[in-house]
């Protein structure tokens, strides 16, 4: 249904504010800390509210999904954001719908179509027009992080579609956030340690990313994965760079050129094309199984 797509799209739209919050309100060069404080407090909050724990096979499934969607994806996202101009990170991350199509064929038996492939290519082209700059410098570690983030989130999306959740979406969201946070905690303490100084502005930024960027956005996202085909829901992530560009224009006085506006239109057209022509429901495709101020914005998450 259209309403399910609109509700799901709110998650990636919220993630479009991540780049602004990270670069303007968080301590610099702390990707692991940002990932940890975005996932663990949010997961513990949802566990306390829902009072549901995994059962049986869902202990290791939650751990794996939390590792992919949180413990791996979020640090890679922040490494890319810190090491690359946001436009490069967003353009590399925009390959995610194409990666999801590949994983969906492998794990869900869902054949990719020419429409999906063309929409995926158009999405990458539109994002590059929207956020990529001609003088953007390439840091290959940052590029690898952006590409790795797209791959692990794509795999997490498809596996989340393959495995039928045994509990309400808030509970299973809490399982993944908490699992990812637990995995990140020792690594963060060993690699980055505790920052020497955290301001009230930093606390507000972390709180926003945990409550809005994690609890709300991930709950909407995982709900959408349950209800919509994987290759359709993943195209909604293309909204993130569009929203990020709009936030940069509104909040940071970044210029929006005619080429960027064309890019935004291409992204939206690719998103719409990917949503039409499908059956509109997730069940048809589900396999039941057991910092650069002034630079362009970064990708999903």
In this predicted model, what pLDDT tens digit does every residue of 166-194 receive, in sequence order? 999 999 999 999 999 999 999 999 999 88
Stated pTM of the model: 0.84
| pLDDT (average), residues 143-154 | 89
Tell me: pLDDT of 1 over 70.
Answer: no
Structure tokens given for 233: 């829901």
Tell me: pLDDT of 83 over 50.
Answer: yes
Instruction: Report how far residue 210's alpha carbon sits from residue 34's, in angstroms, rounded to the nearest whole number.
Output: 10
Among 50-54, 103-107, 138-142, name the one with the lowest average pLDDT: 138-142
Quick one: pLDDT at residue 88? 64
Q: How confident is the model at residue 136 (pLDDT cuts 50, 70, 90)?
A: low
Listed ranges 52-61, 130-139, 285-294; the one with the highest mean pLDDT: 52-61
Query: Under 8 Å CB-to-CB from 239, ≥6 apart: which residues?
Result: 9, 12, 13, 16, 267, 271
Instruction: Report how far residue 1's alpha carbon sits from residue 159's, in angstroms, rounded to the nearest whole number.
Output: 22
51, 136 Cβ separation under 8 angstroms = no
More confident residue, 177 or 195: 177
Tell me: pLDDT of 293 over 80.
Answer: no
Tell me: pLDDT of 89 over 70.
Answer: no
Quick one: pLDDT at residue 278? 46
Site of tokens 């039409």: 276
More confident residue, 267 or 290: 267
Site of tokens 């956005």: 217
Instruction: Report how far residue 69's alpha carbon sits from residue 274's, in angstroms, rounded to the nearest whole number.
Output: 23
Listed ranges 24-38, 55-69, 77-91; the one with the highest mean pLDDT: 55-69
Share of the chain above pLDDT 70, in %: 85
Q: How confident is the model at residue 63 (pLDDT cuts 50, 70, 90)?
A: very high
Quick one: pLDDT at residue 87? 58
Tell me: pLDDT of 162 over 90.
Answer: yes
Tell me: pLDDT of 116 over 70.
Answer: yes
Tell me the pLDDT of the chain averaged across its residues.
84
Q: Which residues pair with 163 in a beta bridge?
A: 289
Tell me: pLDDT of 290 over 60.
Answer: no
Quick one: pLDDT at residue 130? 72
More confident residue, 159 or 234: 159
| pLDDT (average), residues 10-26 | 88
């Amino acid at each position: 249904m259209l309403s399910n797509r609109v509700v799901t799209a709110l998650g990636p739209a919220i993630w479009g504010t991540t780049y602004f919050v990270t670069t303007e309100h968080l301590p610099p060069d702390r990707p692991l800390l940002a990932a940890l404080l975005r996932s663990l407090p949010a997961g513990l909050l949802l566990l306390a509210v829902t009072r549901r724990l995994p059962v049986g096979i869902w202990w290791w499934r939650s751990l794996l999904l939390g590792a992919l969607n949180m413990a791996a994806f979020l640090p890679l996202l922040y490494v890319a954001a810190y090491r690359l101009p946001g436009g490069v990170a967003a353009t590399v991350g925009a390959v995610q719908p194409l990666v999801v199509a590949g994983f969906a064929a492998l794990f869900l038996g869902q054949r990719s179509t020419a429409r999906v492939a063309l929409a995926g290519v158009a999405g990458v082209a539109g994002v590059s027009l929207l956020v990529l700059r001609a003088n953007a410098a390439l840091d290959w570690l940052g590029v690898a992080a952006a590409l790795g983030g797209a791959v692990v989130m794509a795999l997490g999306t498809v596996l989340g579609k393959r495995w039928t959740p045994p509990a309400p979406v808030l509970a299973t969201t809490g399982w993944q956030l908490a699992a990812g946070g637990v995995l990140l905690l020792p690594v963060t303490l060993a690699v980055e340690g505790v920052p020497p100084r955290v301001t009230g502005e930093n606390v507000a930024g972390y709180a926003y990313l945990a409550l809005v960027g994690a609890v709300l956005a991930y709950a909407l996202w995982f709900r959408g994965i349950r209800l919509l085909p994987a290759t359709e829901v993943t195209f909604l992530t293309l909204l993130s760079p569009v929203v990020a560009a709009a936030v940069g224009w509104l909040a940071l006085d970044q210029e929006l050129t005619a080429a960027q506006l064309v890019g935004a239109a291409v992204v939206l057209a690719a998103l719409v094309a990917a949503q039409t022509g499908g059956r509109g429901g997730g069940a048809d495709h589900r396999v039941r199984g057991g910092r650069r101020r002034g630079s362009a914005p970064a990708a999903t998450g």
